[in-house]
């Protein structure tokens, strides 16, 4: 739920052009049309600064609210398994988000390169960098944590790890990496199903992202 949810139904929000912003400021500025008046808003992260006809006014920004019913454990075994899941998500979710950000940055940068040769050179450099940065970290993961990481990469990118490798590096490398993963009981082709078998993982991810656990 964003800021406009706190305003009357007739409020309309429109982002101003750079010329309408304060001189030298890159901060997004919004103009809200309210009957017989205007309210201007500057967003500074989660903080909203509002003013109306030259005077600052009271306003607030509401974060999305997620409400889960209490988790009822039927046995000590279930409670231990849930605690392990929380631990594993806290360990692997940051890696998944980092990988997703790298994938997005790589894709956007490759779009600016002039030809396939330049793109392949950049991919080779990225592959070398990722191996150097993440191989030591991945070696510290258990098999179940590695499988969870593969699922969370899918959660963050909406693509399986196999598809990502295939898209960037080709089918042969995707097959090779998947074969290597299978030697440790994992598969790059597994998908994330937040509404099905992975609903407990999704619950923990959301609660971790919100800082609740």
3-state secondary structure 17-86: CHHHCCCCCCCCEEEEEECCEEEEEEEECCEEEEEECCEEECCCCCCCCCCCCCCCCCCHHHHHHHHHHH
Sheet hosting strand 12-15, strand order edge to edge: 12-15, 29-34, 37-44, 47-52, 55-57
> What is the per-residue pLDDT for 165?
82
Distance between CA 87 and CA 92 in Å, rounded?
9
Distance between CA 162 and CA 172 in Å, rounded?
11
Least confident of 16-30, 131-145, 148-162: 16-30
Which residues does residue 105 pair with via DSSP β-bridges, in sequence order? none
Average pLDDT over residues 146-169: 87
> What is the per-residue pLDDT for 37?
52
Position 153 confidence tier, pLDDT thresholds 50, 70, 90? very high
| 38-86: pLDDT as tens digits | 555 555 555 555 655 666 555 555 556 667 778 888 999 999 999 999 9
Name the residue among 12, 52, 46 with its Cα closest to residue 211: 46
């Amino acid at each position: 739920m964003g800021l406009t949810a706190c305003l009357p139904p007739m409020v309309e929000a429109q982002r101003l052009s750079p010329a309408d912003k304060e001189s030298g400021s890159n901060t997004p500025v919004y103009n809200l049309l309210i009957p017989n008046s205007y309210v201007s808003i500057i967003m500074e992260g989660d903080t909203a600064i509002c003013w109306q006809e030259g005077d600052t006014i009271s306003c607030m920004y509401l974060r999305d609210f997620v409400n889960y019913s209490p988790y009822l454990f039927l046995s000590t075994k279930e409670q231990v398994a849930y605690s392990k899941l929380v631990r594993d998500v806290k360990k692997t979710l940051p890696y998944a988000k980092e990988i997703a950000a790298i994938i997005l940055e790589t894709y956007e940068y490759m779009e600016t390169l002039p030809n396939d040769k330049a793109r392949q050179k950049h991919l080779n450099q990225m592959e070398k960098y990722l191996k150097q940065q993440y191989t030591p970290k991945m070696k510290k993961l258990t098999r179940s944590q590695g499988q969870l990481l593969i699922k969370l990469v899918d959660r963050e990118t909406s693509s399986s790890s196999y598809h990502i490798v295939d898209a960037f590096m080709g089918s042969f490398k995707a097959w090779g990496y998947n074969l290597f993963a299978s030697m440790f009981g994992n598969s790059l082709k597994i998908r994330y199903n937040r509404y099905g078998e992975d609903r407990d993982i999704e619950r923990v991810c959301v609660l971790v992202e919100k800082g609740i656990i």
